[in-house]
Amino acid sequence: MSTLIVVGAQWGDEGKGKIVHLLGKKADVIVRYQGGNNAGHTVVFDGKKFVLHQIPSGILQPGRRCVIANGVVMDPWALREEVRFLESQKIKVKGRLFISAWAHLILPYHRYLDALRESGKGKIGTTKRGIGPAYSDKVGRVGIRLADYMDPAAFKELVEQNLQAKSPLLTSLVSLDDLRKETFKDYDDLRAFFAEYIAETPTLLADALAKKKNLLFEGAQGTMLDVDFGTYPFVTSSNPIAGAACVGSGVGPAAIDEVLGVVKAYTTRVGDGPFPTELKDAFGDQLRERGQEFGATTGRPRRCGWFDAVVVRHAVRINGLTRLALTKLDVLEGVDPIRVCVAYKVDGKIVKEFPASRRAQATAEPVYKNLPGFSEPVKGITEYKKLPKAAQAYVAFLAKEVGVPMALISMGRSRDETILVDKKFRWIP
């Protein structure tokens, strides 16, 4: 038996979907433990592009069981459409997908509240899909879980309570009658849909552990969007970090063997908030175009910058990372020199750890080290020793600077475009 958590070690969009798809070949069960359909994992499988939002990307591996666990907030309509899309592509879902009865739901009034906030001074750059308000209801103890949704009398009562409580805000956008109709749209059909997938997932996972199965846990977003340890308040509403895999699935921490952090060879983020190494020039635009840095969920252009070792060291510590997976090394082909931020200057002082203060985060000046670039093509290389020497040196420098060994390098969305660096990493098929 082996258990592995895969986390993003930057601001999300690091390429976790491809990594989970690749490693999922060794997994018996793949578990999504937090986030909502604001996340998008893009994977190329059998020559087709799949963008998954709520279902674990391991669903593309034939025969694997996939779990949407209790830490996820779930949009019923969006999830049904995702299942329909997969089945239209001949991907079998029934009998392989299990949805936690404990998971909270995103309902139409959550989307309206999200849009209302994003239209005012509290704007932080969300996807307006209702994720934040759904998590707010969860911690405010007025959320509605899938188990409650499946009980018509309980669901109706809970919805009415929430609509009345939120009406001062909601009625500025929509009438309560229209919102009721929207909330109960397709209700009977959706209940029938969920009846095929709802499960007591903590028990399911405990049974899998008892049978010595391999479990792979995947989150959404990245460490720097964590509501506790990210660039608050420009963060998501949950904890993408590794510790949340236990809380968000019902699996105890003693069961976890390893944590893999996924990082890009440079840095990106979507939405507002501090980004010390951001490139607001022509080269930043070039990185965006070469790396196709546009959001999988919204299509929004991503902000681009140099690799930030301060950020990744923070992620190493917060997550307890044991190895790294590096993505998009090929995007830096022909760039010379390649710059790496190794520290910040804050109030005239050099700091090597990511600061908590929002003012310090916003004003931090990157301290760079320049490394030689490489011009030789790297796309298509599948052996580490065949990479250009300067590319190998760059990879080795990043691993040494953040203090964690490199397990693999990914240079494309296809499973085949992968280089194994650490042959002791047992999750590589």
Domains with residue ranges and CATH for the chain: 3-101+198-255 (3.40.440.10), 104-192 (1.10.300.10), 264-420 (3.90.170.10)
The list of the chain residues with pLDDT below 70 reads 39-41, 45, 121-122, 296-298, 415
- Report the sign of the C-alpha dihedral through residues 379, 383, 389, 393, in that order: positive
Residue 297's pLDDT is 64
How far apart CA 13 and CA 29 sit, in angstroms, is 23
Two tokens, residue 41? 């994992």
Residue 300's pLDDT is 84
Residue 348's pLDDT is 96
Q: Which residues are catalytic?
A: 13, 41
Tens digit of each residue's pLDDT (9 = 90 or more) over 92-114: 999 999 999 999 999 999 999 99
Residue 1's pLDDT is 75
Residue 416's pLDDT is 75
Residue 48's pLDDT is 75
Residue 294's pLDDT is 87
**Residues 308 and 267 sit within 8 Å (Cβ to Cβ):** yes
Residue 40's pLDDT is 67
Task: Please work out, in degrees rounded to the nearest 5, the angle formed at the alpha carbon of residue 310 by the alpha carbons of 316 and 404.
Answer: 35
The CA-atom distances, in angstroms, between 178 and each of 110, 155, 169, 262 are 14, 17, 15, 43
- Pairing between strand 258-264 and 406-410? unpaired
R_g of the chain computed on alpha carbons:
22
Q: How many CB atoms lie within 10 A of CB 332?
A: 24
> What are the b/e assignments for 148-162, b being 16+ CB within 10 Å?
bbeeeeebeebbeeb
Identify residue 366 by its one-letter amino acid code.
Answer: P
Residue 425's pLDDT is 93
